[in-house]
Structure 1
């Protein structure tokens, strides 16, 4: 009997050891930035069923395990899969199908791109595009419908500004919307011409007056566009995105596509909520799956600095306006009070110092378990000196986009003046207050490559290296801080730090292999570093060709 029992136990132990030794993937001979609490560097790891099951030296990992696939990284650097902590997936997918106006240097160049697009797509019922920025044009003045009408008198046109907080439309689009007069719009502006008629420029809450008439795509087209965008995202090492505000229809599409396994990238999706309809949202339960999570509400406090919709405490330095809130302070107070009594995380877009003060104060007024709730302010772009401490006091996560600083630095000082600009894009100060920052890009407003944001965060210069010495370098981040911001801190900002964000035992096997080490390469080389492989849940979703 004893011999039988001993044989059984020995056999069982053998089976378990054999099973544990068989894994799906081994990566070795690598420089693995674990981004764990001590920021340790390893050499190898083993993956089974989409999970990191062991991490250590190459010798130990290769000795302990047999794998279906073995990757010799040849000393290449390996990082946790990159997060984009503030992104717009559907807008990027749509922009790939529309007229990309990013970087246009004049209205004439914009018209030229529209003409090229129309020639290639003569049967499109609308011309839709985005990305224009009048601050890049010689006059720096906002465009009107006049030029559009001259070249496109019959086909309706809708062109989003680079920040998606303003749109330029032509007379044909205004006619479809039956928008032939100027009237007050709460939280928005219909820009008037010399005769008091709409001049084609719509800001913030005025935009839906026309955008609601845009043609819709069918489900299969939307899936195709999202997959195309996904291909671009994983090609630069992104494995997770925090989707900053989706409507009901978009959320339903994501649920369908993820349920069918048709999308790979992980998506933490925020519900874009109208404060006037908040009751129906807080009655809903969280939606949580392996790749898609919905447990947060996105609010919009104000507009953007570039379109002078950001709400400031004092007048713009270059215009007699303070911008505006998109809803009244009373509406925000009532909404946030209700949300504080729900289980939802709240993430509020706030650009101007007035909007940031309002949201910080209302957060602090109603949150009682601040640390656990992890409420965020998206952008936290311009902060009055006495308000920085509120991020610490109320435990509010700053969600920042470093490339905004290096895109806006050419004209932001004119908007804000010499004193207020010191409290703008103040990422180091925000980090000191909260102890973490979640780093994203706000794509497609900025490019989706996370290394562009990494570069902007540490060097505070644009793609050309301007300005020499960096823009407001007192607010630059260290490389370790920037890497944490796009991995473990971003994961923390959406309650995922126990699942991913670092390369540790028991976590999802999301990682990226780069051709050069971004922790050591010269700053001017960062934007050129290529992704060699992107892996989500142990599955390679992108691999660069060796050719």
Structure 2
């Protein structure tokens, strides 16, 4: 009996050791941790939605008995991708509208709208995604055909950048827009005393404010549909740039019901009601929602010639674009945001808009700081203004796909001299030593592989130009990956909780079918997501 008792104690002890001590072991992988050393591991362990250990497969298999084991089969694993600039909710809404992205002519757009109208016979006809720069005749369209097809049904079709739209007469009538009417920060196009239906920037709002808002079902579908598409391309956090505060209730409800698992960094729009709400409420921070920033628009877009330039557009005489509000307004909101301790994020495309905002920021920030105020896009810059980013720790939040989408026509807008300091991502990276990357979807495709490819090759998806576009401003693969992970998290004040595969951080990660750090550059756009995890939970599986 004395011999049996120690044996039984050993059996009990062994059984206790085999009790699961983790939720998930990911092993047999090539794990790009994106930590401070940019270390590569072969395994990591997840428990309670967070990473608790990173190391080798052999080491972690000995230390942990996980409830679930994921053998990655030598595939590359990365931190969940973070898109630092999106219009996530608007993208979701656009999935319920006429998709005009990639249309090659005004005739093709008319055909698309007509087909959609037959399937959706009631209400406004709304579409998004046309770009006249890709048509044989690179001019804004005219509403005449829309008027003949839809004399009584209002139509609004937004340009790809969201800064221009064409509407029909029925929509103009609802908004009471007349020939010759003007609006600050916008343009109502009139030719020979007649409205063409083309509206730029603030003028688009005259019509949009008359449109019925989406119902609760459409709002929910927008968030869920956008989420599902984003998970399929490896996104686990997105920055939604410019929402109204009332949508936060929808987001919170969907997240509490675990229908919306996407992590959201939300910037509220530049409106009095949004300031009043967040100033009274304070920063909103949960594991899946972070609201501490405001999105301000300084100017329009280069493609629709609304970007505010220091000198005239090369392809339009006596035209420099325009600001969307007065300099005094931007100074006032900057002081107000700073006084309340929030982050300011300003859309600035043209060199004039960028100069104005950089100087306003500098006047508030007064040199080195950790406020992480952002310039969204920072697209066209006077060379002498670039140093203002580093001097005041202003963060340029850029979208590499914009460079490769715009390059064919951007030189026509800017000429050979100004184009040299446009889309200057490497120079901007050097200012602070880090730079967040995004897509601006639905302006660009949601796929972060396209962001990575554009950043490192400076080529479009057709592989043009063969030698790349202004490749002195290309990023390395390491820089591009950090821009989509740790640096994007840092732009959101979230680098301590996400953006790398390290103990203590959320278990957000993605497994790809090819290693983007080593695969042939031409094959980068073909890389596909195999699995996406948020909080250690699988949210997408290609199989």
TM-score (norm 2): 0.95
Contact 1:21 1:64 in 2 (8 A): no
Contact 2:358 2:388 in 1 (8 A): yes
Which of 499, 523, 526 aligns to 2:524? It is: 526
What is the distance in 2 between the residues matched to 1:466 and 1:106?
22
Match in the other structure for 2:6: none
Q: Secondary structure at the residue paired with 1:167?
A: strand
Moved more, 367-376 or 140-149: 367-376
Contact 1:310 1:324 in 2 (8 A): yes
Runs of 4 or more off by more than 4 Å in structure 1? 17-21, 275-281
Match in the other structure for 1:410: 408
Q: Deviations over 1:327-362 (max 9, x none)?
A: 111111122122222210110000000110111111
Match in the other structure for 1:497: 495
Match in the other structure for 1:342: 340
What is the distance in 2 between the residues matched to 1:418 and 1:407?
17
Moved more, 150-159 or 83-92: 150-159
Match in the other structure for 1:399: 397
2:240 pairs with 1:243: yes
Match in the other structure for 1:162: 160
Shift, 1:281, TM fit: 4.6
Q: 1:198 to 1:282 in 2, by over 3 A?
A: farther
Contact 1:314 1:322 in 2 (8 A): yes
Shift, 1:95, TM fit: 1.0
Q: Secondary structure at the residue paired with 2:60?
A: helix
Shift, 1:439, TM fit: 0.3
What is the distance in 1 between the residues matched to 2:42 and 2:176?
64
Match in the other structure for 1:214: 211
- The alignment's C-alpha RMSD in Å is 1.8
2:41 pairs with 1:77: no
Match in the other structure for 1:258: 255
Match in the other structure for 1:3: none
1:372-387 alignment, distance < 5 Å? 372-387=370-385
What is the distance in 2 between the residues matched to 1:52 and 1:280?
35
What is the distance in 2 between the residues matched to 1:204 and 1:70?
52
2:37 pairs with 1:31: no
What is the distance in 2 between the residues matched to 1:29 and 1:481?
25
Contact 2:355 2:385 in 1 (8 A): yes
Match in the other structure for 1:104: 103
Match in the other structure for 1:267: 264
Q: Secondary structure at the residue paired with 1:429?
A: helix
Shift, 1:18, TM fit: 5.1
Contact 2:25 2:69 in 1 (8 A): yes
Match in the other structure for 1:371: 369
What is the distance in 1 between the residues matched to 2:128 and 2:21?
50
2:309 pairs with 1:309: no
Q: Secondary structure at the residue paired with 1:27?
A: strand
Moved more, 105-114 or 281-290: 281-290
What is the distance in 1 between the residues matched to 2:269 and 2:18?
46
Contact 2:239 2:264 in 1 (8 A): yes
Shift, 1:304, TM fit: 0.3
Contact 1:275 1:331 in 2 (8 A): no
Contact 2:368 2:391 in 1 (8 A): no
Shift, 1:214, TM fit: 1.9
1:383-462 alignment, distance < 5 Å? 383-462=381-460
Moved more, 255-264 or 169-178: 255-264
2:179 pairs with 1:184: no
What is the distance in 1 between the residues matched to 2:253 and 2:20?
37
Q: Deviations over 1:297-322 (max 9, x none)?
A: 11110000011110111111111211
Q: Deviations over 1:435-493 (max 9, x none)?
A: 11100000000000000010000001111101111111110000000000000000000
1:279-318 alignment, distance < 5 Å? 281-318=278-315
Shift, 1:280, TM fit: 5.8
What is the distance in 2 between the residues matched to 1:221 and 1:337?
37
Contact 2:240 2:266 in 1 (8 A): yes
What is the distance in 2 between the residues matched to 1:146 and 1:199?
8
Q: 1:277 to 1:452 in 2, by over 3 A?
A: closer
Which of 446, 461, 469 aligns to 1:471? It is: 469
What is the distance in 1 between the residues matched to 2:228 and 2:202?
32
Q: Deviations over 1:380-428 (max 9, x none)?
A: 0011010010110010111000000011011000000000001110000
Contact 1:278 1:335 in 2 (8 A): no
Contact 2:86 2:240 in 1 (8 A): yes
Shift, 1:152, TM fit: 2.2
Q: Secondary structure at the residue paired with 1:331?
A: helix
Aligned length, in residue pairs: 531
What is the distance in 2 between the residues matched to 1:281 and 1:500?
24
Shift, 1:90, TM fit: 1.2
Q: Secondary structure at the residue paired with 2:408?
A: coil
- Consecutive unaligned residues of structure 2, counting only runs of 5 or more, are 1-8
Contact 2:367 2:392 in 1 (8 A): no
Contact 1:275 1:335 in 2 (8 A): no
Q: 1:271 to 1:452 in 2, by over 3 A?
A: same
- Consecutive unaligned residues of structure 1, counting only runs of 5 or more, are 1-9
What is the distance in 1 between the residues matched to 2:167 and 2:159?
11
Contact 2:245 2:277 in 1 (8 A): no
Q: 1:284 to 1:327 in 2, by over 3 A?
A: farther
